[in-house]
Amino acid sequence: MSTEIRVGDVYFNLGDDDGNPSSGEIATERRVLETAEDHPHTETLPVLADPAADHLDPDLMQRRADVDEKHQRVVEFLERHGYDAAVLGRAESVSWFTAGGELRRHLASSERASALVFVTRQSRAILTDNVQSPRIFEEEVAGLGFHLKERPWHEPVEANVAALSRSKKVVTDTHGLNLAVDQDGLGALRLTLTKLERQRLRELGRTMTLCVEATCRNFHPRETEADLAGHLAHRMLREGVTPVDLCVAGDDRARRYRQPTFKSVPIERMATITAIGRRHGLCAAVTRIVSFGPVPKAVQEALAVAAMVDATAIYFSRPGQTVADVFRRVRRIYEKFGHPHEWTLATQGAIIGYRPVERPLLPETSFPFTSHLPVRWTPSVGPARSEDTIVVDERGFEVVTEAQRWPKLEVMVKGFPLPRPGILER
């Protein structure tokens, strides 16, 4: 079967990876197959914890079970490597271990958290100062089974760590504590999503999609890129989502710069918006393109190729495949449609999670895809970029930032339909 995708008067033929053709056509409002067992219910802001709540509260029990599962992952790591304890200090690690606790020093901080977590085979403790401890234990970790090791705010945390680590072999993900450091090894523990994290990522993905697409539908010509970034940040913050990265490129800047910031430049005809947001510690990324009036033919054609690359990457990102395996197929699509060097002009994606980039997706990386792994592929061709956040699954994949009330390009890979976001014309 032959795969054709029509953009204007131009037809693109998309064969499979072995040169055998398959079939497809442009369509709109066709949903990506969802393979997850459960789906989002209501979208809510992070709830303020009640420190006096009954510990049998269902939501609290779910968080407690999530923390217990992560504690077991750390214990298994300790046993594999011969350690007695671990100290988690990076903001993303502490947020992960506390099932979404907000313990960052600053809004966008990605370095050391405002508290450390000391984990042994039998217990877990929060190490923090007397300024932070009331809020942390009342709002962030109430009922989650943590001990408190408090110190005066003017004393260094290193003294606490040294006292607890005496006569123990201890590993950490944080430099400066005079302990063995294994940031990659401990960081790998958080790559596979738990059931609670998958549910949270779905809800975050839908929220992010609605925020970005509403911004695209409601701004006016001649507003600046900074205006759009402000509109989007406002929508995200109202939903409890922290803007981690906002890229807005108007008109020609999307072609000239593959990873633009936003400037005080008026938008005349087109805008590309890429946003990464964080809630409960987890990150999701989404890109959309909007045009005032008909989309130029060259941009349509560029997005068609980027969408094919994106769909191919998503389809083959499955358990057992390595990043290098998928990248080989990605490069072949670029070459097939006359853009052999486009992949060298911008990053092509990353494993996402508690950081926007947990692992970059590089051409020769032997890292294998596994179930419950969150990924974002980010192929671009000229001014066009295609990007959503997905979760790899043994039953297929799940697009957590699936387009809502948005035009779509439908691409077929191996006979499977993979709608990719099109361009909104206003």
The pLDDT assigned to 343 comes to: 96
On the 0-12 / 13-18 / 19+ scale of CB atoms within 10 A, 357 is middle
Q: Taking residues 208-227, what's their average pLDDT?
A: 96
Lowest-pLDDT choice from 15-29, 125-139, 239-253: 15-29
According to DSSP, residue 280 is labeled T
Measured between alpha carbons, how far is 388 from 185 in angstroms, rounded to an integer?
27
| Mean pLDDT, rounded, for 202-217 | 97
Q: What integer best gives the mean pLDDT of the chain?
A: 88
Contact 388, 202 (CB under 8 A): no
Backbone angles phi, psi at 205, to 5 degrees: -60, -45
The whole-number pLDDT of residue 37 equals 39
Q: What confidence tens digit (pLDDT) does each residue in 158-173 have?
A: 998 999 999 999 999 9
Question: Cβ neighbours of residue 135 under 8 Å, at least 6 residues apart?
Answer: none
Q: H or E segment at 262?
A: none
| pLDDT score recorded for residue 36 | 38
In this structure, is the dihedral angle defined by the CA atoms of residues 247, 103, 284 and 313, taken in order, positive or negative?
Answer: positive
Q: Which residues, including other chains, have CB under 8 Å from residue 227's CB and lie 6 or more apart?
A: 219
Cα–Cα distance measured from residue 207 to residue 187, given in angstroms and rounded to the nearest whole number = 26
What is the pTM (predicted TM-score) of this model?
Answer: 0.86
Domains by residue range for the chain, with CATH = 4-30+193-425 (3.90.230.10), 58-190 (3.40.350.10)
**What is the distance between the alpha carbons of residues 20 and 265, in angstroms, rounded to a whole number?**
46
Q: How high is the pLDDT of residue 254?
A: 85
Percent of the chain with pLDDT over 90: 78
Per-residue pLDDT, 16: 52
pLDDT digits (tens, 9 = 90+) for 356-378: 999 999 999 999 999 999 999 99
CA dihedral 260, 262, 263, 265 (to 10 degrees): 90
Q: Which residue has the tokens 């997005």?
A: 303
Rounded Cα distance, 354 and 186, in Å: 13
163 membership: H or E segment, kind and range: helix 157-165
pLDDT tens, position by position, 263-289: 999 999 999 999 999 999 999 999 999
Mean pLDDT for the stretch of residues 327-347:
95
The predicted model gives 324-340 an average pLDDT of 96
